[in-house]
Structure 1
Amino acid sequence: MAAQASNTSRPNLQLPPQFEDSYKDFELYPANILLKNSYEAALQAQRARLDDFSPRLFTKSNSIYVPIREFTGVGNNGGLRRTGNGPNKIIDDNSLKRWLGDATPSSSYATVEDPKCRFIFINGDSSRDPLNITRQMLLRILSYHQVNPAYLDFLFVFGSQNEARGLRFSGFHEQMTFARPSRQLPIPSLRRSGRQYQLTYNLKSVARKMRSNPRGQPIRVPISEMQWSIRQAAIHHQFDVEIGTTLWIVTQGNLDIFERVVQMTAVHGRKEDRAFADGPECFRTSLTTHLLYCYWSIEEWRWYIQWLEDVIDTETGNVLYSARGIKEQHEYRPQDIQSVQYHEDRAKEAIMVLETNTDVLISIRDFYIRLMNPLKIKDFDLATNTTCQESVNAFATKIDDMISDSRMQIARAKLLTQIAADRKNLIIQFLQGQATEKMEGLTRITVKISQASQREAIAMRIITVVTLLYLPATFVSTFFSTDIIKYQNPGGGDESTSDLNSQYMGSFSQVAMDRWLQVTVPLTILTILGAGYAFYKIDQSAKRDIEKLQ
């Protein structure tokens, strides 16, 4: 805590030695807390996980920002406490120690008692960035308030990460110490009776990522390009049933809930939302704060599922209305199946998140109903307060409305996943049909090519037969037309005047025969070798193509 004014002297508040020792060992959290509901091995395991997650969970720079909002219950503004510098925020460990009233590391006293209501908001620049707090500061806060170690499990989903993690993790934990004397150590100097209950849970909401131009104006984008993200909030609540002091620790990837709490508890808001004068008022205001978190967790799911319905209908509508066998039909691609599968997975994820949210809402409602039933929970002083009973009944009714709304969204999402699966199967059938049609077209082309090849083969066969028939005569005619063999009239007369029956004399030239063989044989060998080499290269190329396909 911090002083109400920078120059105001504050009295020393004596602290029990047990609490003092626990606080001095704050870096050993959760092993240092006084009330241990877990085995030592479980606490050591939580600390080991904290060591593993610390590098990505906490900021490594000086960008520390921890808003705190406190009320003393006095005045029209609920006794909103401010520092001498203006708004309440913690920017380093020293300012945190001053705010908590920690005078020196070795002191056995504090200088500031707990306010009637304290909000501590741990945040990050985004849901995928480290928290704007150091490990030392977080453990100091948790040790000072003796927070249930289960809260650590809800913090591990935050921190630096490429993709959202822990969306499938959810839970609700309660811890009560109502009996007299209390198992929890009373600290009267800090206005802690030791009789309290602690609630620890997380909720998830969904929000659309808005795009803007350089001037900061929103940009309209096609429905298929809209982006939504699921955001988490880890909430810890303590309520002292005897004194009425209230603590809230909220961890979120941004300051959305902080801004809502500021708006709810502002002077221009409802007075009952910042009423902390006595125990019953603090209790009723705590119910209102629970409702704020619960409303935050359900308000955008309707529109998110509506967006999924619109996207899937846009991407798969043609599968229902397009005709087969005409040129204007829509042509599907494998990417269409991927897109439908992606949005189907988002719908399944929404079902899971909504169901876990619903379980948490039911747990919160059931806890307060049991709390007001003396037969189930004894020693709760406000159970007989008529106003508190009415507030819990109204609270339970509003939670029931939220549960009904969540169940309706779950039913919509389940139906959407079934529709997406059915249409995805239709797209697969369309793709198979398109592939079959293409194969039919290729088959028709192949048949035409085969018919043309067949006609060409017949023509070539005819030509080959004719060539073979005339080849001997052509060869003989060509051979005898050379100078190798000549036919001459022995009389030397004119052939036209010679007797048709006169005998011609033939002369053979060995030199011409040799020259013919010298030219013809090498050319024939070269032709055969060239043809053989060409056939070899074609065969090797075909083998390589087959190997590539294998």
Structure 2
Amino acid sequence: MTLVSNEKVVNEIFDDTPIATDKREYLSANFPTEDAFVHDSEQYTSRLSTVKTSIFCSSEKFNVDVSDITTSIDPESPSERKSHTFHQTKALEEHIHTSATPYTRFISICSPSSLKPFRITESAMTNLLTHHHIGSEFLDLLFSFGDKPRNAEVGLGSMTIKSRADESYDIQYLISYVEQSNGIGSRSWTMRQVGVFHHFVPSGPGSLWIILHAKPNTRLQQRMEAALSQWQKSSSRPQVWHLMHLLVLSTYLNNWRWYLRSLSEEFEKIADIVLTLDFSKPREYAHGLQMLLQLQHLEDKVLPLAPRFRASLATVQRLKEMNSLFNKRGFCSGTEFRHLANETTKYESQLKAHWQSVELLEKRAQEILKPLSVALNLKNQATVVEISNNMLSLTKDTVDDSATVRVITVVTLIYLPASFVASLLGTNLFVFQGPNGSGFTVSGQFWIYVVLTVPLTILTIGSCDWRHGGMILCDAHYEGIVLEEIDYALINGSI
């Protein structure tokens, strides 16, 4: 997005729809005072009812920091700062409604971790947003918290600007960032995000900052505390609209360079190992599979980075455009304009460079993944060929065994009649020499052998034929059903 010089064209990038300033039940079933043509308030509240337990905490975990900056009549005198940490909803609501409107108010809302709700109740958030007349778009920031950053939403969160009827501005955005914990390597990096809402009043008091932190005592909170202390001691005014935006960007954008470097080092480490693997060895083949899984894990880390950089780049570019607009309207001095222009140009260049680095890492991942996958596939194919050869050898052995069994069967059939005759004549049913010296005689009980043998033989043969015939009938019945279904489908045009 390029910098626009024509003020009329620049104004078109902002939504000039006035925000209603009357009080309302903010997180109720609807937003009656908002433009029904622009905002689907019912959808916002319906979604909020399903996720509010992951966004808002119970009253005993309440913890909100508020710093009010006021200015004295004498422009050379230091600003006055009053800081409060509230642990009860009622105390925060009383402070908001009874204290005088400060020149600038800073509200820090934290969650114990990225997966935990903010340490503020729904009632307190309702009163806070209602008192400051903040529209339902703020819910877009809230919906991004209460869980780990999701890949499906990495492209969301770029800066949005809305002008109010009193010529004040509502600015909000998300910045994704990484921070390194104790340890070495990309596994020690944690992905987080910070939500920023800024209500900017160009002339007079009433400006508001709401910072949504993903954990307590963040680096941004520490730097905010130092900046507010510096403002309190100096005669400079904290009304310079862009300083806190630069504080957010300078706190969180610089770490991306070192995170990308750590990812690149891991890619190169895997590439060096892959090039030296000998997949003919089982142990190195298993190591190759492990490298493949690590490479895919790294690729999963790289893929969401491009949308994150795209969203952050859009935020920086919108900030740059706002700087041009506010300079034309006299909301900032020439020095402030040049300062922000220089810084946004720097961050714009950095984010574009990071984006190009991500594209290079994606290509590098594919360059490593392709030969590794090919090598593993070739190894798998070689294993399949080896198994096939073994199966072929087993089949040949089986054929040889079958031939041997066939020979044995033939020999058995040759000798079977002789064996049967010998067994039969060896029974007591036949006598070769009687007691009186007579010759070969057959026992009178021979009929028992016939009566038992013939029915048993018939029963055996019959049972075999019945079973074989039943299987044939079942197959024929199944084939008939299939043919009928095919004919029915053909008739009805299903095939």
TM-score range relative to shorter protein: 0.7 to 0.9
Residue of structure 2 in register with 1:432 after alignment: 377
Pair 1:455 & 2:400 matched: yes
Residue 300 in structure 1 maps to residue 287 in structure 2: no
Q: Give the equivalent residue in structure 2 for 1:107.
A: none
CA contact (8 A) 2:29 2:46 kept: no
Aligned twin of 1:235: 196
Q: How does 1:408-419 map to 2 (within 5 A)?
A: 408-419=353-364
Paired with 2:386 and 2:139, the residues of 1 have a C-alpha distance of 64
Stretches of structure 1 lacking an aligned partner (at least 5 in a row): 1-18, 83-87, 103-111, 178-182, 185-194, 211-217, 383-387, 493-504, 536-550
Question: Offset of 1:274 from its aligned partner?
Answer: 5.1
Q: Is the 8 A contact 2:81 2:232 kept in 1?
A: no
- Normalising by structure 1, what TM-score? 0.68
What is residue 134 of structure 1 aligned with on the other side? Answer: 121
**Residue 123 (structure 1) shift:** 2.0
Partners of 2:445 and 2:398 lie apart in 1 by 44
Residues 247 and 446 of structure 1: is their aligned pair in 2 closer, same or farther, counting only changes over 3 Å? same
From 58, 61, 65, the equivalent of 1:60 is 58
* 1:454 positional shift: 2.5
CA 491–333 in structure 1, closer or farther in 2 if over 3 Å, else same: same
Q: Cα–Cα, structure 1 residues 514 and 435, in superposed 2: closer, same or farther, change >3 Å?
A: farther
Aligned to 2:140: 153
Separation in 1, partners of 2:161, 2:20: 25
Q: Which amino acid aligns with 1:97?
A: E
CA distance in 1, matches of 2:386, 2:208: 74
Q: CA deviation at 1:89?
A: 1.3
Q: SS where residue 198 of structure 1 aligns?
A: strand
Superposition RMSD in Å: 4.2
1:529–1:91 distance in 2 versus 1, CA, 3 Å: farther
Structure 1 position 419, deviation (Å): 2.7
1:361 and 2:340 equivalent?
A: no
Equivalent residue, structure 2, for 1:200: 172
Alpha-carbon deviation of 1:136?
2.6
Q: CA deviation at 1:276?
A: 7.0
Q: 1:477 to 1:165 in 2, by over 3 A?
A: closer
Is contact 1:58–1:133 with CA below 8 Å preserved after alignment?
yes
**Quick check: 1:485–1:506 contact (8 Å CA) kept in 2?**
no
C-alpha contact (below 8 Å) 2:103/2:206 kept by paired residues: yes
Give the number of aligned pairs.
445
Structure 1 residues 453 and 239: alpha-carbon distance in aligned structure 2, compared to 1, 3 A threshold: closer
Residue 331 in structure 1 maps to residue 286 in structure 2: yes
The offset of 1:347, in angstroms, is 1.0
SS of residue paired to 1:367? helix
Question: By how many angstroms is 1:317 displaced?
Answer: 5.1
1:326 to 1:242, Cα distance in 2 relative to 1, 3 A: closer
Written as runs of structure 1 = structure 2, the 5 A alignment for 1:115-194 is 115-159=102-146, 166-176=153-163, 183-184=165-166
Deviations 1:154-195 (A, max 9, x none): 222223679687433123222446xxxxx42xxxxxxxxxx5
> How much does 1:227 deviate?
5.5
The structure-2 alpha-carbon separation of the partners of 1:165 and 1:491, relative to structure 1 and needing over 3 Å to count, comes to: closer
Find the aligned partners of 1:120 and 1:101 in 2 and give their Cα distance: 15
| 1:79 paired to 2:60 | no
The residue that corresponds to 1:397 in the other structure is 342
Displacement, 1:140?
Answer: 2.2
**In structure 2, how many angstroms separate the alpha carbons of the residues matched to 1:306 and 1:337?**
20
Alignment partner for residue 222 of structure 2, among 248, 256, 259?
Answer: 259
Aligned to 1:22: 22
Name the residue aligned to 1:42.
Answer: 39
Larger radius of gyration: 1
Q: How does 1:336-355 map to 2 (within 5 A)?
A: 340-355=295-310
- Name the amino acid aligned to 2:402: A
CA distance in 2, matches of 1:115, 1:489: 139
Q: Give me the whole-angstrom Cα distance separating, in 2, the residues matched to 1:202 and 1:332.
A: 40
Instruction: Please list the CA deviations of residues 9-54 of structure 1 after superposition, one character each: whole Å capped at 9, or x if unmatched.
Output: xxxxxxxxxx999347667799587xx7x45662634455545544
Q: 1 or 2, which has the higher helix percentage?
A: 2
Is the 1:123–1:131 Cα contact (8 Å) retained in structure 2?
yes
Normalised TM-score (structure 2): 0.74
Q: Secondary structure at the residue paired with 2:146? A: coil
CA distance in 2, matches of 1:434, 1:533: 51
Distance 1:316 1:533, change over 3 A: farther
Q: Distance in 2 between matches of 1:467 and 1:52?
A: 82
Runs (5+) with no aligned partner, structure 2: 1-18, 469-495
Residue 209 of structure 2 corresponds to residue 248 of structure 1: yes
Distance, in Å, in 2 between the alignment partners of 1:485 and 1:115 is: 130
For 1:261 and 1:332, locate their aligned partners in 2 and report how far apart those are by CA, in whole Å: 48
Deviation at 1:481, TM superposition (A): 4.6
Give the drift of 1:486: 4.7
Q: Supply the distance in 2 between the matched residues of 1:56 and 1:530 (Cα, whole angstroms).
A: 72
- Amino acid across the alignment from 2:70: T
**Per the alignment, do residues 161 and 400 of structure 1 end up closer, same or farther by CA in structure 2, a change over 3 Å counting?**
closer
Query: Taking structure 1 as reference, are residues 32 and 70 closer, same or farther at Cα in structure 2, changes over 3 Å only?
Result: farther
Which letter does structure 1 place at the counterpart of 2:415?
Y
Letter in 1 for 2:197: H
Structure 1 444/205 Cα, relative in aligned 2: closer, same or farther at 3 Å?
Answer: same
Q: Secondary structure in 2 aligned to 1:205?
A: strand
Paired with 2:362 and 2:171, the residues of 1 have a C-alpha distance of 34
Cα deviation code 1:291-344 (max 9, x no counterpart): 110123313222333343344555565443323434553237878656544432
In 2 relative to 1, CA 365–447 (structure 1 residues): closer, same or farther, beyond 3 Å? Answer: same
Q: Secondary structure at the match of 2:144?
A: coil
Q: How big is the shift at 1:530? A: 11
Deviation readout 1:408-461 (Å, 9 max, x if unpaired): 222222222223234434444334323322222222222222222222222222
Change in 2 beyond 3 A, CA 1:259/1:525: farther
Equivalent-residue separation in structure 1 for 2:192 and 2:60 (angstroms)? 25
Q: Give the counterpart letter for 1:259 in structure 2.
A: Q
Rate the CA distance shift 1:239–1:459 in 2: closer, same or farther, 3 A: closer
Structure 1 pair 491–141 and aligned structure 2 pair: CA distance change class (3 A): closer
For 2:433 and 2:52, locate their aligned partners in 1 and report how far apart those are by CA, in whole Å.
116
Provide closer, same or farther for how the CA distance between residues 390 and 490 of structure 1 changes in structure 2, counting only shifts above 3 A. Answer: closer
Offset at residue 491 of structure 1 (A): 12
